[in-house]
Structure 1
Amino acid sequence: MTTDTSQNTDKTATDEAAGDAAATGTATLHRGLRARHIRFIALGSAIGTGLFYGSSEAIQAGGPAVLLAYLIGGAAVFLVLRSLGEMAVNNPCAGSFGEYATRYLGPLAGLTTGWTYAFEMVIVCIADITALGVYMGFWFPDVPRWIWLLAAIAIIGVLNLFNVKVFGELEFWLSLVKIVAIGAMILAGLAILVLGVGSGGDGMHIGVSNLWSHGGFFAHGAQGFILSFAVVMFAFGGTEIIGVTAGEAEDPGKTIPGAVNSIPLRIVLFYVLTLAVIMSLNPWQEIGSDASPFVQIFAGLGIKSAAAILNVVVIVAALSAINSDIFAAGRIMYGMAERGQAPAVMRRLTRSGVPAMTVGIMIGSLLLGVVLNYLMPDRIFLIISSIATFATVWVWLMILATQYASRRKMSREEVAALTFRVPFWPYGQIIAMVFMAAVMVLLAFSESTRIALIVGAVWLVLLSVVHFLWVRPRSRA
């Protein structure tokens, strides 16, 4: 009883100190995110465009074998998150993996990791806000798309200026809607398989045999299976936000391990179960040709309003993903500003402990997305998604390399003191790093994704120039 009172007193004192500090310009981030917040923030960031639309492209690339690709990719991402979790529990901080990369791999690595993650969040937000305008056009085809984009940007921007607890609650409920909807889709599909196995309305067979009856499980051979990873890995992007939340978690030692251990399994189950059901209901080569695969599930049940139901879900999914991405980019930029790797103005916080300047930067980036969407509406989504894949995999590779370097520098006593150690050390990390490097190489084998490598290379060169001409001289001063 005394301990609880002491903890509450300490928390109150911390909050009061943070408020006083805000008035003097030295506010700090508040620890207001609970375990359920962190888990659903990660789910919200990862379950969105990659599942609802990217899944069709993945199926066309790899056929039914894409299910195996999601399992393998999920296993690699699990090692990434466990590596990040080990560092985040041992040293929870704002900026997370950017801070760790700076400490164990050097300032240049930290700069490229942090800014590449912020860049990833920006371009993913642009993709989601573009998709949101398309979704709203379903109900209001005569209303200009930019009106919906501006309205969504304004609403989400304001919400991100509230206390982190408000953000956590909002993201919890938005993500919950998505999860319930996906669960309903899976159950609906299983109902069709169990109760109505036979010929579909167009004479197509419905059943799990669709997974191997149309060209085999590896319908496009080993080449198609391997190339599908370039699309599959994009779907898992956003899960690393778990590390970003460490600086504002109420109890990082408990919330981070719980989130890290549960998120990959949940996401893999969502993707694998959903796509397995979809490809059982329809031959894989028909998926995505005329309608969203999720619409096909509801249409199979005879629900006439299938498109409208899906539209609600994808709108919520887009809002949730944008909400999480603005939060994550803001916190990573705040952490870099603390280390002198970003302008000092990004360290300014409101009285509620929110980095308002970084939120403003993200809003400005989304406005740029509105302009790009207007200039090249037919090409922007494919270009952005491929660039996002490069940025995502680069950040994962750096997280793995950072954890590997940090563990190598630890003494036996320090390793023994770790409360959340990564499994399969060190071979699991080495294999995962080789896998991530291979995925980046795969981007070069497709004309539609090759631009990602070009943009990625130019981006890294620019960051290196900034480091040597601006960051390093300032750190020596």
Structure 2
Amino acid sequence: MDTTLDTGAPAPTALKRGLTARHIRFMALGSAIGTGLFMGSAGAIQAAGPAVLLAYMIGGAAVFMVMRALGEMAVRHPVSGSFAQYASRYVGPFAGFLTGWTYTFEMFVVALADVTAFGVYMGFWFPDVERWIWVLAVVFFIAALNLISVKVFGELEFWFSLIKIVAIILMIAGGIAIIVFGISTQSENAAGLHNLVDHGGFMPNGVWGLLASFTVVMFAFGGTEVIGITAGEAKDPKRVIPKAINSVPVRILLFYVLTLGIIMCLQPWNTIDGKASPFVSIFETLGLTGAAHVLNAVVITAALSAINADIFGAGRMLHGLAEQGQAPRAFMRVTRTGVPWLTVVTMVGALLLGVVLNALFPDQIFFLIAALATFATVLVWLMILVAHVRMKREIVRDGRLPSEFPVPLWPAASIATIVFIGFVIVMIGVMEDTRPALVVGIIWIALLLVGYFALVRGKGRQRHELVDETAPIGVIVDD
């Protein structure tokens, strides 16, 4: 795909390593604490009831294995657009093309969900203002921030994530206090552990409800793979990436399982209708309107953080695809501060579609977008796992040095995760509400296949080279 523009002197194309350990650690903490938790959790609760806690634990275990697989490859090959390049190297050029463009599609769809959620949150304070107005404002605001420098992006993510984390910890403490000391204005459905079993039991919709919830639960974890994207701009990837990834289990237990458990203790699961964030509605239901306003500010911060990360992730992936010859070379160009500016502008242009969708379909848009994002997310995770399996086999076959950050329980846990992700894809097709997302996903793959053979040639069709930083300096992983 040769779309070079001749403008005289060559434009700069190298990203700058401006993300510190502090930035990446909080990006790791904040990446899974976003719209999927603050807004999407309502749909998962409606599907499974209190048993959704099991779904988050099972899904979280799968996400941890994906992240460890990605981490092992990222430490070995810290490059821009990491997992698309790993798929190109270890599976094949089309696999890298599919992975990279699907991740970009995922970030676009997730960003649509995030800007939609931002409009919903602002409606809590300004119910008479059309949602699309807020969506338009936030798209341009985040675009401006992303065009400054990667260091500014890292600092914003640090503070956004810090606000989210502190707020959730305070909410957990406040929720426990309400449960233990009876600080509540409710006379009916009083807060307590009994709410987890009193309204149809712990699994009110049966095993089927639990299985159905995975289509929303996995959306909540989408975006955690952005840690792999940071490998090309991390100052010390071999040290900071493992630390960030190893924090995943604690994040899942604290920020998902414990938090949602407390929410369902405070408010019966069958009263959570999804019209507002469950984090806001519980305190409004309890009569604590001040807390509801504070938490609404927090979930707005969470949405800003997520949109910020979405644009960052898509931009860096497009930059990596351009390096491989699988995207227009113009996407390689960066500003003097190392920002791939054209990718940011492209994402912003695509997000303007969100303004139109929110104007035309304000009530239906969020959960269809969530289903689309789930499909794209699990497809990317599947390609990460397959690439990792191929890498592990090649290491053994060629007698290369062992990895510095190997996955646990190899190979059983990796195989089990692949099977689980295949199950989630099947469930997206089985569920009537999410089936259109699978249809769109299949059409997307078909379009990519046609685009690959029609437009990608030369360098983009060749096996991609990666420097193996576990091996002695200068050794190339390619044959």
Please report the TM-score for the alignment, with normalisation by the length of structure 2.
0.90
Decide which of 440, 447, 458 is 1:455's aligned counterpart.
440
1:202-248 per-residue CA deviation (whole Å, 9 max, x = no partner) reads 32243212222332222221111111111111111100001000000
2:254 to 269, 293, 312: 269
Question: Which residue is 2:163 aligned to?
Answer: 177
Structure 2 equivalent of residue 127 of structure 1: 113
Cα distance in 2 for residues equivalent to 1:206 and 1:78:
32
Contact 2:326 2:460 in 1 (8 A): no
Secondary structure of the structure 1 residue equivalent to 2:326: coil
Bigger shift: residues 281-290 or 43-52: 281-290
Choose 147-156 or 269-278, whichever is displaced more.
Answer: 147-156
Alignment of 1:274-353 (within 5 A): 274-288=259-273, 292-299=277-284, 302-353=287-338
Aligned 8 A contact 1:77 1:264 in 2: no
- Residue 186 (structure 1) shift: 0.9
The one-letter amino acid paired with 2:316 is R
Per-residue Cα deviation, 1:232-289 (whole angstroms, up to 9, x for no partner): 1111110000100000000000010000101342133201011111111222222237
Q: Match of 1:250? A: 235
TM-score (norm. length: structure 1): 0.91
The structure-2 alpha-carbon separation of the partners of 1:260 and 1:476, relative to structure 1 and needing over 3 Å to count, comes to: closer
Which of 30, 37, 50 is equivalent to 1:51?
37
What does residue 92 of structure 2 align with? 106
Matched, 1:162 2:148: yes
Give 1:149 deviation, angstroms.
2.5
Shift of 1:49: 1.3
1:291 deviates by: 5.5
Query: 3-state SS of the aligned residue for 1:410?
Result: helix
Task: Tell me what 2:23 maps to.
Answer: 37
Q: Distance in 2 between matches of 1:145 and 1:207?
A: 35
Match of 2:211 in 1: 226
Offset of 1:384 from its aligned partner? 1.0
Query: For residue 16 of structure 1, what is the aligned residue in structure 2?
Result: none
Q: Is the 8 A contact 2:88 2:95 kept in 1?
A: yes
Q: What's the counterpart of residue 471 of structure 2?
A: none
Preserved contact between residue 280 and residue 296 of structure 2 (Cα < 8 Å): no
The answer to whether the 8 Å contact 1:23/1:351 transfers is no
Q: Measure how far apart 1:297 and its partner are.
A: 4.0
Percent of aligned pairs with the same residue?
60
State the 1:290 CA deviation: 7.0
CA distance in 2, matches of 1:398, 1:350: 31
Gaps of 5+ in 1: 1-21
Q: CA deviation at 1:305?
A: 2.5
Change in Cα spacing, 1:23 to 1:190, as seen in structure 2 (3 Å) is farther
The 8 Å contact of residues 62 and 417 in structure 2, kept in 1 or not, is answered as yes
Q: Give the superposition deviation at 1:34.
A: 1.3
- For each residue in 1:322-341, what CA deviation from the matched residue of structure 2 results, as whole angstroms up to 9, or x when unmatched? 00000000000000000001
Q: 1:274 to 1:456 in 2, by over 3 A?
A: same
**Deviation at residue 154 of structure 1 after TM alignment:** 1.8
Deviation at 1:42, TM superposition (A): 3.1
Task: Tell me how far apart the structure 2 counterparts of residues 123 and 290 of structure 1 sit (CA, whole Å).
Answer: 21
Q: In 1, Cα distance between the equivalents of 2:396 and 2:188?
A: 66
CA–CA distance in 2 between the matches of 1:215 and 1:151? 43
Q: Is the 8 A contact 1:67 1:276 kept in 2?
A: yes
1:212 to 1:476, Cα distance in 2 relative to 1, 3 A: closer
User: Which consecutive unaligned segments of at least 5 residues does structure 2 have?
Assistant: 1-7, 463-479
More helix by share: 1
Q: Is the aligned partner of 1:393 residue 2:398?
A: no
Please report the RMSD computed on the Cα atoms of aligned residues, expressed in angstroms: 2.1
